Amino acid sequence: MSNDAKLLYGLLLDWANLSKGNGYLDKDGTVRLYFTVEEAKEKLRRSRQVATGAFQELESSPSRSTLPMWAKSAFRSKLGARP
């Protein structure tokens, strides 16, 4: 896994923990993140292509089954796939 994908995962995890801590949960207790490619591009200080690639890499990761449910939802929504 690339360093960009690892950093993106860390950013998403941090945002999810902050959201959960602040009580920003759906009715079913799920944390939903809206972290765009543009936001990833700015936070990673990388190109749009690299940021998109990091999302795609996390989505297709063999260890994806160990990702939290919020991460799976976030990756699907950023890549245009349905949950």
Rg of the Cα trace of the chain?
A: 12
Q: What is the pLDDT of residues 47-61, one digit of tens each?
A: 999 999 999 998 887
Domain residues of the chain, as ranges? Answer: 3-21+31-79
Mean of pLDDT values over 63-72: 55
- Whether the CA torsion 7, 3, 62, 34 is positive or negative: it is positive
Cβ atoms 24, 31 nearer than 8 A = yes
pTM above 0.75, yes or no: no
